[in-house]
Chain A
Amino acid sequence: DGGITQSPKYLFRKEGQNVTLSCEQNLNHDAMYWYRQDPGQGLRLIYYSQIVNDFQKGDIAEGYSVSREKKESFPLTVTSAQKNPTAFYLCASSISGGSRETQYFGPGTRLLVL
């Protein structure tokens, strides 16, 4: 059964701590994305990757980092430089990252600051 999984569902971060959110897909998609959703806001793009070992910054990349060592995996690290990390984080994938593509989303991770 193909899909996108994100873990954990909830994550707590202490001040000054880095945390990593997991995203895995078995859809054989080349492109993967990370979005952030805040209350009353749309989805804002953090980073995206169209191929292994390559990624590009989105609109709000400051305070975040990513890696793409495997096609199936695109972890997101929320660093201590991100001053307002509390949000709902969504991972998505698409076939190649080209235009006119539908993105498919995982279930999301809610990050809370202690």
Chain B
Amino acid sequence: DQQVKQNSPSLSVQEGRISILNCDYTNSMFDYFLWYKKYPAEGPTFLISISSIKDKNEDGRFTVFLNKSAKHLSLHIVPSQPGDSAVYFCAVSGNTPLVFGKGTRLSVIA
């Protein structure tokens, strides 16, 4: 049974607009949440994280929002750029190693 779900396998956004990627988790014991970006045939690159004591963390164009009551987190990218086209994985952590979602493929169209 999946502990971390990214329900949208793909997303297309026009350049300059906002990209919103979503992630749901099942276990309320998870307390640290991360987003990774991955290009084909490369390793994932860490983007941004948030701990359960916060509901928002911002780093440049990237903002992660955490809704603990809904067990939901989202990554906002604004403005979206063609170089943001990649697969985005959310990952969660509690007392176990990271658990990853299946990823969402973002395509930013010029």
Chain A residues packing against B (C-beta within 8 Å): 4, 6, 33, 35, 40-45, 48, 58, 88, 90, 92, 97, 99-108, 110
CA distance in complex: A76, B96 (Å)? 21
CA distance in complex: A48, B32 (Å)? 19
**What total count of A-B pairs have CB within 8 Å?**
55
B42 contacts A100, C-beta separation under 8 Å: no
A42 contacts B103, C-beta separation under 8 Å: yes
Beta-carbon contacts under 8 Å, B1-22 to A: 4, 9
Partner pick for B89 among A43, A48, A106, A108, CB 8 A cutoff: A43
Q: State the majority secondary structure of interface residues on B.
A: loop
Chain A residue contacts of B41, Cβ below 8 A = 88, 108, 110
> What are 15 of the A-B contact pairs (CB < 8 Å)?
A41-B102, A42-B4, A42-B89, A42-B103, A45-B97, A90-B43, A97-B97, A102-B34, A102-B49, A105-B36, A105-B44, A105-B45, A106-B43, A107-B42, A108-B42
Q: When A33-B97, A48-B97, A99-B94 are in contact, do A40 and B32 touch as well, CB less than 8 Å?
A: no
Answer whether residue B31 sits at the interface, using C-beta atoms and an 8 A cutoff.
yes
Partner pick for B44 among A40, A41, A90, CB 8 A cutoff: A90
**Count of B interface residues, CB-CB < 8 Å:** 25
Answer whether residue B93 sits at the interface, using C-beta atoms and an 8 A cutoff.
yes
Chain B residue contacts of A99, Cβ below 8 A = 31-32, 93-96
B97 contacts A100, C-beta separation under 8 Å: no
CA distance in complex: A105, B32 (Å)? 18
CA distance in complex: A31, B98 (Å)? 12
Instruction: Output the least CB separation between A5 and chain B (Å).
Output: 11
Answer whether residue B25 sits at the interface, using C-beta atoms and an 8 A cutoff.
no
